[in-house]
Amino acid sequence: MKMGSKKIIFGALVLILLVIAACGKSSSSVNGNGAKVTIFHDPSCGCCGLYGDYMKRNGFEVDVKQIANIAPIKEEYKIPKDMLSCHTSVIGGYFVEGHVPAEAIEKLLAEKPNIKGISLPGMLSASPGMPGKKTGPFIIYSVSEDGSSAEFMRI
């Protein structure tokens, strides 16, 4: 096979993959839809600012509140210790703890479950706003009024 043919085939494969990726996104996605999210984070945390940028790119109206002590916010929303991350967001009456992907927030806003919020505990590599390579699915948890948690979704 000649070099020119290989380039054409490679280009066609790249184009096909891009089309498949674009088609894999649901057309019924909320995609932020201008929903306002307030992100509370420590001023020294760089990944939280990157998460805010990610949320803006995904169609959310972002209000960032930098506060020196974020613990009172986490206590106000009664986020269980095993669900904590570096920042807390509030949207549509729910808390969103950590680097939660937009798809999970879109699901939360579309379904409006009877819970306090959702969380992606820790600071997982390659989660929105975090560097690195994804090593497995992101498991997002829902937190009920009684503080119990259950799997909300995997991404």
Indicate which CATH number applies to the domain containing 113. 3.40.30.10
Tell me which residue range forms the domain holding 70: 31-154
55: nearest Cα among 85, 100, 24, 119: 100
Section 136-152 average pLDDT? 97
pLDDT of residue 46: 86
pLDDT of residue 41: 94
Q: What is the Cα 131 distance to its own chain's centre?
A: 14
In a domain, 53, yes or no: yes
* Count of domains observed in the chain: 1
- pLDDT single digits (tens) 55-114: 999 999 999 999 999 999 999 999 999 999 999 999 999 999 999 999 999 999 999 999
Give the integer Cα–Cα distance in Å for 79 and 87: 11
- Note the helical H segments in 24-148: 46-57, 71-76, 102-111
In a domain, 18, yes or no: no
In sequence order, which residues have a C-beta less than 8 Å from that of residue 22 and are 6 or more positions away?
A: none
In a domain, 132, yes or no: yes
Tell me which of 8-22, 42-56, 128-142 is least confident: 8-22
- pLDDT single digits (tens) 31-51: 677 899 999 999 998 898 999
In a domain, 6, yes or no: no
What confidence tier does 17 reach under pLDDT thresholds 50, 70, 90?
very low
